[in-house]
Amino acid sequence: MILRPARAALRLALAATPFVSAAAGCEAGDPSLVGHYYLSGVMETGSELLLRPDGRFDYMLAYGALDEIASGCWSRRGDVVTLAVSKFEASMDDPMKFDRLELAVTPRGGLSRRFEGGRTGVYSRPRGGR
């Protein structure tokens, strides 16, 4: 579960994210995956992912003193969702920084992410929500 200050920071970041048009290279994403996802399964880590219908994404992660915010384009090929970053900001030197991130689509419609050290977390949408 994400702490309230981190959630507030994400909402502010998502609201402040400038509009990236289709001309910037994003193509419409798979409608079955569009929605707001929350990470579970990784201790002391809060992360959210918003996959927009127009192929843009917004992402945040909070782990200890490290905060990450990223945006860009997402696409799906088979059982893999790829996040291609156009903007990435971190609160400190970031060993987890990425330009591209591949997430595996789970049978229940979640997105599985492998972290360093073999830890795996799953981004899931709340039941009944998008």
Give the pLDDT band of residue 88 (cuts 50, 70, 90): very high
Identify the H or E element spanning 5: helix 4-16
Which of 106, 116, 117 is closest to 37 using CA atoms?
Answer: 106
C-alpha to C-alpha distances, 10 to 13, 22, 30, 37, 92, nearest whole angstrom: 5, 23, 23, 12, 17
DSSP state of 109: S
Q: Is 60 exceeded by the pLDDT of residue 65?
A: yes
The string of DSSP codes covering 9-24 is HHHHHHHHSPP--GGG
69-73 mean pLDDT = 96
Q: Is 60 exceeded by the pLDDT of residue 25?
A: yes
Non-local (6+) Cβ contacts of 29 within 8 A are 51, 52, 53, 54, 55, 74, 75, 76
Work out whether the CA dihedral 76, 39, 57, 126 comes out positive or negative: positive
For residue 24, the model assigns a pLDDT of 63
Please answer whether residues 71 and 77 qualify as being in contact, where contact means their C-beta atoms are separated by less than 8 angstroms: no
Give the pLDDT band of residue 17 (cuts 50, 70, 90): very low
Look over the chain and give the mean of its residue pLDDT values, rounded to a whole number: 83
For residue 93, the model assigns a pLDDT of 83
Q: In 3-state terms, what secondary structure has residue 7?
A: helix
100-120 mean pLDDT = 92
Give the pLDDT band of residue 80 (cuts 50, 70, 90): very high
91-118 mean pLDDT = 89
DSSP state of 126: P
Please answer whether residues 33 and 24 qualify as being in contact, where contact means their C-beta atoms are separated by less than 8 angstroms: no
